[in-house]
Amino acid sequence: MPTLFLNATQVVTCAGPARARRGAEMRDMGVLRNAAVAVDGATIVAVGPQDEICRTYPNAEEVDCAGAVLTPGLVDSHTHGIFGKPRHEEQELRASGVGYMEIAKQGGGIHGSVRDLRTRSEDELLELAIPRLRRLASYGTTTVELKSGYGLTVEDELKSLRVIRRLADAVPLRVVPTFLGAHEIPLEYRSAPRTREEYIGLVINEMLPQVVAGKLARFADVFCEPGVYTTDESRRILGAARAAGLAIKLHADELETSGAAELAAEIGAVSADHLAAISDAGIAALAASGTVATLLPGTMLFLGRVKQAPARTLLDAGAAIALATDFNPGTSPTVNFPLILTLAVSQLRLTVAEAVVAATVNGAAALGISAETGQLAPGMSADIALFEMEDVRELPYWYGDRRCLRTWARGIACHDANGGDTFPNSLRDRSL
Ligand code: NIG
Ligand code: FE
């Protein structure tokens, strides 16, 4: 029997073509009043005037939205949620003047998370990840991309991806897995007798085939950054990944300009992520390409860096922008997606509509699933969020607050601020 979502003050649909919205297209988020949404099973079957919907489905079940705002569930298209312990000590180090890359050179940063993850079992990592995803969901997220990248051995990368697969089966959220074996050059390949070239060979010839054979990832990603992977190395790794059947993403121009955005456009990456140090040529290349520019303003905020990605210039050039949390233990330990919308409006100078489209439709496009989610429209998956507010412009406004009342993913209750959702608390809640 269908379920009707009734009595929302606003229904924000983001309805339109099932692809990334670019430039001026992002200014329309489709705000309806006196509207309702009808869901049948896992799918949205109608969105329109409430009286019409009620007439069409007379015996339906009802969800009373009680004057709150209904939106598409948020699509967090960039996270590194599979890790062990937090890295809070690095925050103070940076405050005292030691830079992110300096910490990495001293064997901390990503290397610290790698040392830690290698000591942990698959079950332990799963146990740590479940409550993190629960928290992500509690802020309005219904789709989350999760990367490996803190293992950096064949077994530890596969272990991380197996955790992601088990999570995808265990939680009601939609989960998209990404292989990030090229997140760093591991310390043991930085001095003789081993070489970075050997590690790149391991990623291409050992890890990739096993990831693909096990169907453990949809995307491959590389941290392309001076001091980490060069653009040439990234091109080789991602070329191999694409040839093996994975779609590709790239951590591009995060801290220093390297031409990574141009590379992403050239090789047909689905998204180029970060871009705080993108060049003018990079902006032009992305605007002329189908690659989504995924901006992660929480990362620059947390690192204490003043320069954010040039979002307005990208948009005005006609690029497609997505927003994401970059949730990870080093540079962005936040699960609060609406806070990222606050930064998008107040720091990146997006309009609220641009920010909402970037967090829904364009997040889905950055994951290659814009035909499935990101909109409240007939045929789309019933991935829905309900926020305690009367106007969607309050979403970035109450910054840091948690206004999300309920979410549904594929029509299943995912988060409920008053209890009653289906999210497991731990491994023990289900046989995972
Ligand atoms: O997106 N830049 C590379 N990866 C993460 C940071 C990972 C870490 O510091 O643990 C990022 O910022
Ligand atoms: Fe990242």
Q: 243-267 pLDDT, tens per residue?
A: 999 999 999 999 999 999 999 999 9
Write phi, then psi, for 155 (nearest 5 degrees): -65, -40
Residue 431 has pLDDT above 70, yes or no: no
* Ligand (nearest to CA of 78): 2
CA distance 427 to 84: 16
Q: Whose CA is nearest to atom 9 of ligand 1?
A: 330
The DSSP string of 282-329 is HHHHHHTSS-EEEE-HHHHHHHT-SPPP-HHHHHHTT--EEE---BBT
Query: Please, are residues 383 and 142 in contact by the beta-carbon 8 Å criterion?
Result: yes
* Residue 113 in contact with ligand 1 by CB distance below 6 A: yes
Quickly name the fold that domain 74-365 has. Answer: TIM Barrel (3.20.20)
* Residue 109 in contact with ligand 1 by CB distance below 6 A: yes
CA distance 432 to 429: 9
Determine the pLDDT at residue 420.
Answer: 77
Determine the pLDDT at residue 84.
Answer: 98
Span from the CA of 98 to the centroid of ligand 1 (angstroms): 16
Residue 87 has pLDDT above 70, yes or no: yes
Q: What residue type is 273 in one-letter code?
A: D
Residue position matching structure tokens 């009367």? 390
Sign of CA dihedral 368, 374, 376, 380: positive
CA distance 27 to 228: 36
| Element at 132 (helix H, strand E) | helix 122-138
Span from the CA of 375 to the centroid of ligand 2 (angstroms): 25
Average pLDDT over residues 109-125: 98
pLDDT (tens digit, 9 = 90+) per residue, 28-53?
A: 999 999 999 999 999 999 999 999 99
Residue 170 pLDDT level (bands cut at 50, 70, 90): very high
Of 294, 298, 357, nearest in space to 71 by CA = 357
So where are the chain's domains? Answer: 3-73+374-416, 74-365
pLDDT (tens digit, 9 = 90+) per residue, 400-409?
A: 999 999 999 9
The mean-pLDDT minimum among 164-173, 216-225, 236-245, 418-427 falls in 418-427
Residue 137 pLDDT level (bands cut at 50, 70, 90): very high
Average pLDDT over residues 308-329: 98
Index of the ligand 1 atom closest to the CA of residue 329: 10
Q: Whose CA is nearest to atom 3 of ligand 1?
A: 223
* Residue 149 in contact with ligand 1 by CB distance below 6 A: no
Share of the chain above pLDDT 70, in %: 99
CA distance 166 to 121: 13
Q: Are β-strands 74-76 and 43-49 bridged in parallel, bridged antiparallel, or unpaired?
A: unpaired
Average pLDDT over all residues of the chain: 97
Span from the CA of 370 to the centroid of ligand 1 (angstroms): 26
CA distance 70 to 64: 11
Residue 282 pLDDT level (bands cut at 50, 70, 90): very high
CA distance 411 to 397: 28
Determine the pLDDT at residue 419.
Answer: 85
Span from the CA of 80 to the centroid of ligand 2 (angstroms): 6
Query: What's the CA angle centered on 95, arms 90 and 100, to 5 degrees?
Result: 50
* Residue 13 in contact with ligand 1 by CB distance below 6 A: no
Average pLDDT over residues 330-336: 98
pLDDT (tens digit, 9 = 90+) per residue, 359-382?
A: 999 999 999 999 999 999 999 999
Q: What is the pTM of this model?
A: 0.98
* Residue 184 in contact with ligand 1 by CB distance below 6 A: no
| Element at 407 (helix H, strand E) | strand 404-409
148 Cβ contact list (under 8 Å, min separation 6): 82, 157, 160, 161, 164, 177, 178, 179, 180, 181, 183, 217
Residue 353 has pLDDT above 90, yes or no: yes
Token pair listed for 187: 């310390």
Determine the pLDDT at residue 425.
Answer: 81
Residue 81 has pLDDT above 80, yes or no: yes
Q: What residue type is 389 in one-letter code?
A: M
Q: Tell me which of 80, 111, 116, 295 to substitute to probe ligand 1's pocket, judged by most ligand atoms within 8 Å of the beta carbon.
A: 80
Q: Tell me which of 275, 328, 334, 340 to substitute to probe ligand 1's pocket, judged by most ligand atoms within 8 Å of the beta carbon.
A: 328
- Same CATH fold assignment for domains 3-73+374-416 and 74-365: no
Determine the pLDDT at residue 424.
Answer: 87
Q: What is the CATH number of domain 3-73+374-416?
A: 2.30.40.10
